[in-house]
Amino acid sequence: MNQNNIDSPEVRILSQDPQLLEKLVDSIDPAISGLNMVKLATLYFLVSGPKSSLSILLVGDPGTGKSSLLRNISSLVKSQVTRKSSGDGFLLIEKIDTLNHHEENKLMDTLEDEIQSVYASSRPLMGRYNPYQTVAQNLRLPVGVLSLFDLIFVLRDTPDRDNDREIASRILELEETTSTPPVETHLLESYLEAARGHEPKLSHEAKTLLLDYYLDLRSSSEMEDAIAITPRQLNTLIKVSKARAQLHLRDTVWASDAEASIRMISHCLEQVGIDPVRCSYDIDVLYTGRPTVLNGKLLKVVEVFSELEKQSIPVHRSSLESILWERYGMTSRTVSRLLRSLLMEGIITEDPPGEYRRREWGQGDA
C-alpha cells in the first residue's frame, strides 16, 4: 500500500466529511441513478482483500446497470472483467450464468477458499426475474455456487413513476452537462487504497448487536420450521461491518457499522432468502433452491420410495400415493409436485408414465 495515500491531506479531509458515505456512493458509476444499497456494497467490495474477501452477485433484468457497474469497478481496481482467477485480489465476472462446468468448479474453489473478492453479474433464466420463484429457480447457476456469495442483489426493472422520472432526469442531465462526481476518480482511488490498509476489530457493542441479530433469527427458525440464517451469514455480517469501518479509515468497528451491516444483510435476505409461498426467511431457499418445508417433504417421498424399491422395481405411483397419504396425509396433488421436483433434478426417472426408477449414477450423462 502507498503510505502517501494515508498521509494525503485530501484523504484525511475526505475521511472527516460528515457526508462521506453519501459522496462515495454517488461517485460510484455516477451515470446510474439510485441503486444506493448496491453501490454501498460495491464500496465494501472495493476495500476488501485476501484477509477479508467479500463476494457479491448481481442478478438483474436487462438495462438495470449490471454491466456498467462492472466496468466502473474494473477501472477503479485496474482489473479486467474475466472468468479466470488472476490472483490480484479481485475477480470480476460478467454473465456468470454462461460459465462452463470447469469454470464453475474453479469459481467454487475461489469462493470457498476466500482467496479473492468476487463481483459477478447474472441474467435471469427467462430474461426477467420472476419474484414468485426462488433465486435458484431464476438462475442458470448451480446452487453450490450461488450459496457461496456473501451478498446477492436482485435488480428488477419495474415501472415506478417517481423512480422512472428520477432516472430519466439523471440521463438528460448527464446529456446536457459535463458533471463531475462528488469525489473525483483519482481521489476515490487513493481513498480506497488507504481504506484497504485498515484491519478494524469489532468493538464490544458491535459484537453484541451482531450476536443478538443472529440469535434472534436462529430463534425464529425454531418457531417457523425454517432455517433463517446460518454461520455463513454471521461471517458476512462481520465482514460488512469491518468494511464500513474501513471506509471511515477506522481501526474499530462501531455499533453504527454493525447496524448498517444488519440492514444490508436483511435487505439481501428479503430478496433471495425468502420462501415465496410462506413469505418468511428460509436460507434453504438459497442453499438448496427449495424451502426447508419442501426439503422435508421430499425426504419423506425419498424415504417411502426407498422402502418400495426393496419390494419391487419400478416403483408405482399408486403405491407411493397410498403410503404417503396414510403416513403423512399428503394429497395426490402434493405428491405430483414432489415427484416432478425429483424428476427435474434427475434423482428419479419415469418410464412408462406412473412407473419410477432411481436414476443410476452416470445415467443420461454424456
Looking at the structure, do residues 207 and 301 belong to the same domain, yes or no?
no
Distance CA 232, CA 226 (A): 16
Q: Phi and psi at residue 81, in whole multiples of 5°?
A: -75, 115
What pLDDT does residue 212 have?
94
Of 292, 275, 294, 134, the closest CA to residue 226 belongs to 292
Using CA of residue 327, residue 330, residue 335, residue 336, what is the dihedral sign? positive
For residue 2, pLDDT over 60 is answered with no
Evaluate whether residue 328 is within a structural domain: yes
- Sheet architecture: strand order including 355-358: 315-316, 355-358, 348-350
Looking at the structure, do residues 281 and 310 belong to the same domain, yes or no?
no
For residue 279, pLDDT over 50 is answered with no
Q: In whole angstroms, how far apart are CA 260 and each of 20, 48, 154?
A: 15, 17, 19
Amino acid at 35: L
Looking at the structure, do residues 252 and 269 belong to the same domain, yes or no?
yes
The domain boundary, picked from 287, 312, 336, lies at 287
Would the pTM of this model clear 0.85, i.e. be above it? Answer: no
Residue 163's pLDDT band (boundaries 50, 70, 90)? low
What pLDDT does residue 76 have?
92
Evaluate whether residue 307 is within a structural domain: yes
Looking at the structure, do residues 283 and 296 belong to the same domain, yes or no?
no
For residue 248, pLDDT over 60 is answered with yes
Mean pLDDT of the chain: 84
Distance CA 179, CA 103 (A): 40
Looking at the structure, do residues 131 and 224 belong to the same domain, yes or no?
no
Evaluate whether residue 11 is within a structural domain: no
Looking at the structure, do residues 341 and 277 belong to the same domain, yes or no?
no
For residue 119, pLDDT over 60 is answered with yes
Using CA of residue 103, residue 106, residue 112, residue 114, what is the dihedral sign? negative
What pLDDT does residue 75 have?
92
Instruction: Write the CATH number for 354.
Output: 1.10.10.10
Looking at the structure, do residues 259 and 305 belong to the same domain, yes or no?
no
For residue 224, pLDDT over 50 is answered with no
Looking at the structure, do residues 227 and 305 belong to the same domain, yes or no?
no
Instruction: Write the CATH number for 124.
Output: 3.40.50.300
Instruction: Write the CATH number for 221.
Output: 1.10.8
Which region among 127-141, 201-215, 268-282 has the lowest average model confidence (pLDDT)? 268-282
For residue 227, pLDDT over 60 is answered with no
Evaluate whether residue 22 is within a structural domain: no
Tens-place pLDDT, residues 18-31: 999 999 999 999 88
Evaluate whether residue 326 is within a structural domain: yes
For residue 284, pLDDT over 70 is answered with no
Residue 356, C-alpha cell as written in the block: 419410477
Which region among 90-99, 104-113, 225-234, 345-354 has the lowest average model confidence (pLDDT)? 225-234
Looking at the structure, do residues 55 and 95 belong to the same domain, yes or no?
yes
User: Using an 8 Å Cβ cutoff, are 273 and 129 in contact?
Assistant: no
Evaluate whether residue 3 is within a structural domain: no
For residue 334, pLDDT over 50 is answered with yes
Tens-place pLDDT, residues 173-221: 666 666 689 999 999 999 999 999 999 999 999 999 999 999 887 776 5
Residue 320's pLDDT band (boundaries 50, 70, 90)? very high
For residue 57, pLDDT over 60 is answered with yes
The domain boundary, picked from 180, 215, 243, lies at 180
> In which domain, by residue range, is 174 found?
28-180
Residue 103's pLDDT band (boundaries 50, 70, 90)? very high
Evaluate whether residue 306 is within a structural domain: yes
Structural domain count, the chain: 3
Evaluate whether residue 18 is within a structural domain: no
Looking at the structure, do residues 165 and 40 belong to the same domain, yes or no?
yes
Looking at the structure, do residues 297 and 273 belong to the same domain, yes or no?
no
The better pLDDT of the pair 141, 255 is held by 255
The domain boundary, picked from 240, 260, 287, lies at 287
Looking at the structure, do residues 32 and 169 belong to the same domain, yes or no?
yes
